[in-house]
Amino acid sequence: MKGVFAPATPKQAPLNRKQRRQNKHKLAKANAGPSPQDIAQLTQLLQGEMFDACIKRARQMTTRWPAHPLAWVVLGICQNATRDYSSAEQTLQKALLLVPENPDAHNSLGQALQAQGKLHAAEQSYSKALSLKPDHIEARCNLAQTFWDNDQLLNAKAQFEKVLAQNPDLAQPHLAQPRIDMARLALAHVHKELGDFKTAQEHYRALLASPDCWSAARFQLTSLKKFQPGDQDLPPVLEALERDDITDTDRIHLSFAAGKAFNDIGTDPDLTFVHYHTGNQLKRAQIKFRIEQEEKNLATIARHFNTGEQLTEPANETQTPTPVFIIGMPRSGTTLVEQILASHKAVIAGGERKDLERAAKAFDATQSQIFPDWASQLDAKQVKFIADEYWQSHFAADAPAKCFTDKMPSNFKFLGLINTVLPQAKIIHLQRNPVDTCLSCYFQLFAEGSLFSYDLSDLGRYYQAYQKLMSFWQQALPAGTILNVVYEDIIRDPKANIRQMLSYLDLDWDENCLNFHQTKRPVRTASSAQVRQPLYASSVNRWKPFEPHLRPLLDALGSD
């Protein structure tokens, strides 16, 4: 029967002495590893940041010399540089089988893990690198950043302080100086988030002479003070803006700093807006963002849930403490509400967490499609998978509290998923005057995300798309799932609105919630300074003095 049996393999003639000697020579050459010229070429490509060419050459070398570790390590570094973190993780694990005591390989593996949100594993990799080389500045900075990303601010603070202790003199010329300056800048941020504004200011001022961090430090200083006429910190900002030798990033920092200063002084709204507008235009030019795509993404979420049927049957499993998702637009009062709730003895504050997004991405990796395409068709096993991913290594999974908060504003995209996977969760939706909300975004240089905030028309269109999705959730989710809270109502009658929120969360009254500004806890958002002050009404209708400049925003919002 044709094709059933393979044809017989012809018998190979025995090798003669010359052929055996040639094969032996080839094998010895292969086992010898790459030549100095091979290594120099690979190193040159890496140092020149020619990552694609370096990856190609490193792959050739790993194929030819699979037992030689250098090419594996370099390949992993380049994969990190090109954001192929999953491949980098696998590559660097292979490298460490060959050189388990290589601190640079452990550090690079930590970077790949950290980028994928595997923070505990990343911490272990950085710690291993430091056990092998205690003065590895990059690994220590990365370990500190991992602690920071995982909300372990005191651990992050300790590691950043160790970096400075290795070389505390900022004036000392040193190859690692830029990294040390960045460590000091990060340490200042940590102190700011911990509420130690005095120490944060000291670190920021120490960086004003840093070639790499001076403008960021100047910008951060403005966020920690209320400017008054004649303030001595304003002239250096304006003088620096007159220079021609600063980068666009420097000019962005300084423009937002000047806008903040003039806004505080409050005598010239036109000049205030000019500086903010300049900073926003420069920032918008640096980023890749299309509002049309964002509008499409938000509309797609509603379409995938809008099947004419009920949302997927919620999971029955519950877990304590209860998640409380505080959602809304950025700058709508979410940080204020979290600070109020965190003042209650039965509540732990989580800040802006990415646990839900990470759980969704983990499920994406098991599917042929990504969220939201699969979101309305989950079975019980899949729901459990996402819930387990959410709770895995969660900071509050075993916390002795009744509730914990997650105030990532953009979680409004996931409300259908929350209702399915975490049915015991509570959802508080913050609403604020649309123009005030958008202008507050426009006046804020965000550390990350919120890319829609740097153009007035984009802002208005994004707000409209967000409102449409929220209106859909209000109809699609069971009645009472979402508690809508109006920011201006909190300002007008805090006690009544705090009672309403506590009642929704099944919590008893706690007087500390009224004195939220006295609560000491880390705050990792743009409002870290404001929430440590009593309630103030100046944020209501703050857009009015700037109305002549807001026509693109007002048109996009459909406002008169």
pLDDT of residue 16: 65
Helix, strand or coil, per DSSP, at residue 196: coil
pLDDT surpasses 50 at 6: no
Domain co-membership, 279 together with 335? no
State percent of the chain over pLDDT 90. Answer: 66
Please state which of the ranges 15-29, 124-138, 401-415 shows the lowest mean pLDDT.
15-29
pLDDT surpasses 70 at 457: yes
Looking at the chain, how many residues does it have?
Answer: 560
Q: How far is 454 from 220, CA to CA, in rounded Å?
A: 19
What is the average per-residue pLDDT within 452-474? 96
What is the average per-residue pLDDT within 415-430? 94
pLDDT surpasses 90 at 7: no
Q: How far is 99 from 69, CA to CA, in rounded Å?
A: 7
Q: Which residues pair with 325 in a beta bridge?
A: 406, 427
- Within-domain flag for 530: yes
Domain co-membership, 326 together with 203? no
Show the tokens assigned to 62.
């790993």
pLDDT surpasses 50 at 494: yes
Residue 485 near residue 427 (C-beta atoms within 8 A): no
Q: How far is 560 from 558, CA to CA, in rounded Å?
A: 7
Domain co-membership, 126 together with 169? yes
Domain co-membership, 219 together with 368? no
pLDDT of residue 536: 63
- Within-domain flag for 353: yes
Residue 220 pLDDT level (bands cut at 50, 70, 90):
very high
Q: 251-273, pLDDT tens digit by residue?
A: 999 999 999 999 999 999 999 99
- Within-domain flag for 193: yes
Q: What is the CATH number of the domain that holds 371?
A: 3.40.50.300
State percent of the chain over pLDDT 70. Answer: 85
Q: 155-175, pLDDT tens digit by residue?
A: 999 999 999 887 544 444 444
Q: Which residue has the higher pLDDT, 116 or 217?
A: 217
Q: How far is 34 from 96, CA to CA, in rounded Å?
A: 18
What is the average per-residue pLDDT within 490-496? 93
- Within-domain flag for 116: yes
Burial code of 468-496, b = ≥16 C-beta within 10 A, e = fewer? ebbebbeebbeeebbbebbbbebbeebee
Residue 180 near residue 170 (C-beta atoms within 8 A): yes
Domain co-membership, 524 together with 481? yes
Q: What is the CATH number of the domain that holds 143?
A: 1.25.40.10
Angle at 536 between CA 533 and CA 330, to 5 degrees: 80
Residue 422 near residue 323 (C-beta atoms within 8 A): yes
Q: What is the rounded end-to-end Cα distance, in angstroms, of the chain?
A: 84
Q: 506-537, pLDDT tens digit by residue?
A: 999 999 998 877 766 555 455 545 554 566 66
Q: How far is 130 from 139, CA to CA, in rounded Å?
A: 7
Q: 60-88, pLDDT tens digit by residue?
A: 999 999 999 999 999 999 999 999 999 99
Residue 176 pLDDT level (bands cut at 50, 70, 90):
low
Q: What secondary structure letter does DSSP report for 425?
A: -
- Within-domain flag for 165: yes
What's the mean per-residue pLDDT of the chain? Answer: 87
Domain co-membership, 397 together with 480? yes
Domain co-membership, 325 together with 385? yes
Number of helices followed by number of strands (H, E) in the chain: 25, 5
What's the structural domain count of the chain? Answer: 2
Q: Which residues pair with 485 in a beta bridge?
A: 430
Q: 9-61, pLDDT tens digit by residue?
A: 444 556 566 665 655 555 445 456 889 999 999 999 999 999 999 999 999 99
Show the tokens assigned to 443.
């006046």
Q: Which residue segment(s) compose the domain that 330 sits in?
A: 316-557
0.75 exceeded by the pTM? Answer: yes
> Between the CA of residue 461 and those of 59, 328, 342, 386, what are the distances in Å?
46, 15, 33, 32
Burial of 215 (0-12, 13-18, 19+ CB in 10 A): buried
- Within-domain flag for 214: yes
- Within-domain flag for 95: yes
pLDDT of residue 1: 40
Domain co-membership, 404 together with 480? yes
Q: How far is 306 from 301, CA to CA, in rounded Å?
A: 9
Domain co-membership, 337 together with 216? no
pLDDT surpasses 60 at 474: yes
- Within-domain flag for 298: no
Domain co-membership, 257 together with 387? no
User: Residue 322: which residues within 8 A CB-CB, separation 6 or more?
Assistant: 402, 403, 404, 424, 425, 426, 505
Domain co-membership, 425 together with 359? yes
Q: How far is 325 from 299, CA to CA, in rounded Å?
A: 21
What is the average per-residue pLDDT within 488-496? 93
Domain co-membership, 439 together with 539? yes
**DSSP code per residue over 441-475:** HHT---SS--GGGGSHHHHHHHHHHHHHHHHHHHH
What is the average per-residue pLDDT within 470-479? 93
